[in-house]
Amino acid sequence: MATTTATITLSSTDLLSDELSLSTTATLTIAGASTGLTGTTGLARKKTGNTSEYTLFAAASYTDDKAHKVYLKNTSTTAAQYFIVEVAGTVVGRLYAGDWALIPWAADTTGTNCDIDITPSAADMTLEYMLFTDE
């Protein structure tokens, strides 16, 4: 069985009066079991040519209602540049320069297809991404 782990560390010495130091590791498994996730796209990059909306992952291409995980990173170094991240047309948030995200994704197709879409704030931005799939 393949083993995939995700570790996050959140730290700050001056946000609060007490130091913030949080670290946790998750072993990414299929829905409702201890078996590891079974697929991945591998790490990839997409360069956007304009400010149009792009479909990064189409829900119909993956198994519905599972424990997929999506990793995103905005590689821009220009602070004002961001990607709008949407799931099924609902804005999740803005990923500014240097920001990353790890999003659980059900790839739900019950009603609206829960595609993951990105919209860059400027042309010629680069998004780094990887999908771990629960097939």
Partner 1 sequence: MATTTAAVTLSSDLLSDSISVSASSTLMKAGTTADGLDQMEYGYLDLPTGDEYDLIATTPTASKASKLYLKNHSTDETYYIAVTQNAQAIGKLYGGDWMFIPADFHDAAGDIAITANGGTNKICYALFHEGTVLVTT
Interface ranges with partner 1 (CB under 8 A): 2-16, 20, 22, 24, 26-29, 31-34, 37-40, 42-43, 65, 67-68, 71, 73, 79-80, 82, 85, 87-96, 98-106, 108, 110, 112, 114, 130, 132
Alpha carbon 67 to its chain centroid, in Å, reads 13
CA distance 100 to 120: 14
Shortest distance in whole angstroms from residue 63 CB to partner 1: 13
Q: How far lies 33's CA from each of 27, 30, 57, 116, in Å?
A: 11, 6, 24, 25
Residue with smaller CB distance to partner 1, 27 or 50: 27
Tokens of 75: 């590689």
For partner 1, the closer of residues 48 and 73 by Cβ is 73
93 membership: H or E segment, kind and range: strand 90-96
Q: How far is the CB of 92 from partner 1 (least distance, A)?
A: 6
Beta carbon nearer to partner 1, 21 or 52: 21
What are the structure tokens assigned to 134, written together? 């629960």
Answer whether 107's CB lies under 8 Å from 62's CB. Answer: yes
CB of 18 to partner 1, least distance (A): 11
Give the residue with the Cβ less far from partner 1, 48 or 132: 132
